[in-house]
Amino acid sequence: MVKIVAGKPDARKTPAEAVPIDAGTVLESMGDAFYALDRNWRFGYVNRQAERLWQQRREDLLGRTIHRAFPGFAGSDLEAALAGALTEGASSQFETVDPALGFPIEAAIVANDTGAAVYFRDTTSRWQLTRAFRERDEMLTMAEVSAGIGVWDLDLGTGMLRGTEQFFRIMGLEPTTEAVSIETTRRLRHPEDRDRVTDGFAQVMASGANVFEMEYRIVRPDGQLRWIFGRGRIIRDAAGMPLRYSGVDVDITDRKLAEATWRETEALFRRVFEQSPLGKAMAGLDFRFRAVNPALCEMLGYTADELIGRSYIEAFVPVRQRSASVEIFSELLRGNTSVRQRLVVMR
């Protein structure tokens, strides 16, 4: 029986008085699963932790070859590693998928002239955590790309900035994992916006606030004009001194173009509405005027302020024609885009 001597040297004890510890006790009490194979691949030892993971009784494994006990072992990475260790008499440590379990393990092999000892542990939780982090990073990357969002971090002491790949692409720069000078991106700001952004940030820094956001334009190296919305948080030390500035930049060029188009369309509509020689109005489902043009005001003899908010059916349509006017609205609600009606109105 193998004995391990434990404890510190004690002058009062002779070697014969040292406390002996059985090797089997150690192997059974450790957290790792353990098994030993001879050079014919037969199990010579299986500890309790290996029994638990494999869900196999050691009595059913001892004396059997690992190939017979676990048919999936043949051709596996673990078999190749064990064969190499037995051939070379070397030790190794690696991660693989256990052919008997089907989930990832971290294994260590110690080989000698008589066979090999294998220690292994289930790393499923760590693998799942790694995969979760990887999937999260992939989702964040997809979100960055699809939403036009770039993430950055600025060291206020050194003026060096790090950013994600999408951040540099938004700026029209070649992505890099290295820190770059903040001047690299500041130079891209539109000349008309540079002072506004710089002064705004300085005011936030001086006020003790921690959040700064701004919309501004950049001119990319290729000459493209883009609108950026930047929002960041200032990280301060215990004394309130600013250390870092981290946040996101969002490419809002499409939104800005849409807003400009909407403003132009709205201005055109208003000109047509206001300058038309025909009486025009907009009303809600309650028949009340929301907007009226000068031609309608002149037609009815009221100012716009006197008309807005009044129900045109109750105030201007004779009683005998009100049901017909209500029907007109019903037709519009049923999907007709345009209807006509001849009626008398009261000025």
Q: Give me the residue spans of the domains in the chain.
A: 31-122, 147-256, 277-347
Q: How high does pLDDT run on average in the chain?
A: 83
Q: pLDDT confidence of 7, banded at 50, 70, 90?
A: very low
pLDDT of amino acid 15? 45
What is the tens place of the pLDDT at every residue in 104-136? 888 888 888 888 889 888 777 666 666 665 656
Average pLDDT over residues 228-250: 90
Determine the topology of domain 277-347 in CATH.
Answer: Beta-Lactamase (3.30.450)
Element at 28 (helix H, strand E): helix 23-29
CA distance 70 to 74: 8
Task: Reply yes or no on whether the pLDDT at 145 is more than 70.
Answer: no
* Nearest alpha carbon to residue 318 among 336, 297, 341: 341
Residue 15, number of CB atoms within 10 A of its CB: 7
Residue type, 280: K
* CA-wise closest residue to 281 among 331, 329, 333: 329
Quick one: what percent of the chain has pLDDT higher than 90?
A: 36
What CATH code is assigned to 31-122?
Answer: 3.30.450.20
Q: Between 224 and 101, where is the model more confident?
A: 224
pLDDT at 187 over 90: yes
pLDDT at 312: 82
> Residues 6 or more apart from 222 whose CB is under 8 A from it?
172
- Over the stretch 64-74, which tens digit does the pLDDT of each residue have? 999 998 888 88
Statement: residue 260 has pLDDT above 90: no
31-122 and 277-347 have identical folds: yes
In this structure, the number of other CB atoms found within 10 A of the CB of residue 285 comes to 8
Q: What is the pLDDT of residue 309?
A: 93
What's the CA gap between 330 and 323, in Å, rounded? Answer: 11
**Is residue 18 over pLDDT 50?**
no
The answer to whether the beta carbons of residues 279 and 302 sit under 8 Å apart is no
What value does the mean pLDDT take over residues 13-27? 57
Coil vs helix vs strand at 199: helix
Task: Give residue 194's pLDDT.
Answer: 93
CATH 3.30.450.20 is the classification of domain 147-256: yes
d(C-alpha 203, C-alpha 75), whole Å: 67
pLDDT at 126: 65
